[in-house]
Structure 1
Amino acid sequence: MRRGIEYCPVTAGVEAVGDRWTLLVLRELLLGSCRFNDIHRGLPGISRTLLSARLRRMESRGLLTRTLDDDDRPAYRLTESGAQLEPLVWQLGDWARRWCFGDPEPEQLDIGRLLWRLRQYVRPASLPGRRVVVEFAPRGEPGERAWLVLARGDVSACRQHPGYDVDLWVTGDLGEMHRVVAATTTLRAATRAGLIRLDGDPGMVAAFPDWFAWRTPSGPGVW
């Protein structure tokens, strides 16, 4: 690795991970994405060419490895060095949430990106023993619907109806949904305020919050 002009560990750390995309690629890997297309989908605004370059650079710096899975498809995994950056990634988000993170801009409101991120927070072991379909319908956006298909062995986020009966409906303000997932508020607070509503089987409505590993203002896992 090229050394900075200053003999300082902070300088060396910035040289290793200090650009925007490296930290965001780390976030996607920490959230469980290991295939190129999944990593790319979680990074709006990056080109496939630039992502390829960042992955190669991170591999050369010992932050990740590129292997082939059982189907001979490339898979990216964090090394021990890369995995030890996890506290830095989440603490940076926590700091931003406190000091420089406001409400979402209109162009940031996207139900598809929202569900892709929420999909990454699913706790498979907490899901019911059968497939569950959750429909998300933002208020005031009649054409904007999306679905999560939840099963212990597979979780999918869909912009088209998945073809299964819906078990649970989540309706409400799209901006508030983004705030819940981004952890500037909690699902409990949003539902109590009437900004988000859950409908369906009462048992599933009660269990729904426990299906996700929320990052919230009160700490991980508190909803």
Structure 2
Amino acid sequence: MRRGIEYCPVTAGVEAVGDRWTLLVLRELLLGSDRFNDIHRGVPGIGRSLLSARLRRMRAHGLVTRVPDPDGRPAYRLTPAGAALEPLVRELGDWARRWALGDPTREQLDAGWLLWRLRQFVLRERLPGRRVVVEFTLSLPGAPDDHAWLVLSPGGDVSACRRHPGYDVDVWVAADLAELHRVVAGTATLAAARRSGRVRLAGEPDLAAAFPGWFAWRASEDRSE
């Protein structure tokens, strides 16, 4: 690969990861996406050809490998060098939450993207030993309510659905769409959102009480729930 003109570690680091799309692809890989379509779904705005180019570039820099999964389909895996970038990605997010993020604009409020991110946050080892269906009713002023579902299955399979999955619902989450974006981004806590009434939980009492502990929330107040 072409090297920078300076013999400097910062220059070398920027050469490897210092563009917007590479860092966002790294984020998706760190969150567990390893299929091309899943990575693409988690990075709104990137074209498929550009994503292919970024993955090739990351492979050339030794950040990613492409391997067959157990079914013989191509999957992308972080190398030790790529995985070692996790603290950098997390610190960048922490910095942005403090200094750069602000409130979401209306154009950034995307129920499909939000549900996909929640799917990635699921702590599979904490799920109950039975299938649980969570229905989200997401409200936005001036717009009809939006509905989405998470299906949390035994064995850790998690599906994000924009159509009713056909199973009985166990937990209902009614939320202000903007507030739930803030919770997922870590600029607000789930506990505070519930106290304000912007997020409400209902359903089977034991499951509704356990719901906050099923996710790796970014805000510190929620990490112990």
Runs of 4+ in 1 over 2 A off after TM superposition: 139-143, 218-223
For the structure 1 residues 56 and 220, does the alpha-carbon distance in structure 2 shift closer, same or farther, using more than 3 Å as the test? Answer: farther
Corresponding position of 1:150: 152
| Deviation readout 1:175-196 (Å, 9 max, x if unpaired) | 0000000000110010011111
Q: What does 1:133-212 align with in structure 2 at a 5 Å threshold?
A: 133-140=133-140, 141-151=143-153, 152-212=155-215
Tell me how far apart the structure 2 counterparts of residues 153 and 103 of structure 1 sit (CA, whole Å). 32
5+ long unaligned stretches in structure 1: none
Alignment of 1:26-175 (within 5 A): 26-140=26-140, 141-151=143-153, 152-175=155-178
Shift in CA distance, 11/220, structure 1 to aligned 2, threshold 3 Å: farther
Give me the TM-score of the superposition, normalised by structure 2.
0.95
Two-structure CA RMSD over aligned residues (Å) = 1.3
Contact preservation (8 Å) 1:214, 1:222: no
Instruction: Work out the CA distance in 2 between the residues paired with 1:148 and 1:66.
Output: 29
Return the alpha-carbon distance in structure 1 between the equivalents of residues 222 and 176 of structure 2: 23
Identity %: 72
- The whole-number CA distance in structure 1 between the counterparts of 2:156 and 2:101 is 35
Q: Which runs of 5+ in 2 are unaligned?
A: none
Number of residue-to-residue matches in the alignment: 222
Given the two structures, how large is their TM-score scaled by the length of structure 1? 0.96
Q: Please tell me whether the aligned partners of residues 213 and 221 of structure 1 are also in contact (alpha carbons under 8 angstroms).
A: yes
User: What is the identity, as a one-letter code, of the residue corresponding to 1:22?
Assistant: T
Matches of 1:82 and 1:104 in 2, distance apart? 29
Aligned residues of 1:215 and 1:222 also touching (Cα < 8 A): no
